[in-house]
Amino acid sequence: LADIGIHPCDEVEPLENLESRTHWIKNPAGVIHLLAESG
């Protein structure tokens, strides 16, 4: 992801559900999908 300009950032809108956040972190494809929706 770093190669295409996506870097970890704790300042992106935090998710209210910590379990959901853990799910996104464990699922790289999900992270990309989440970033696309929030962008």
Per-residue model confidence as pLDDT tens for the chain (39 residues): 557 666 665 555 555 655 555 555 566 666 766 667 766
pLDDT at 7: 61
The whole-number pLDDT of residue 10 equals 56
- How is residue 34 written in tokens? 């989440």
Output DSSP code: residue 1.
-
Residues 6 or more apart whose CB falls under 8 angstroms from that of 34 comprise: 24
Contact 1, 26 (CB under 8 A): no
Structure confidence at residue 9 (pLDDT) = 59
Residue extents of the structural domains in the chain: 1-38
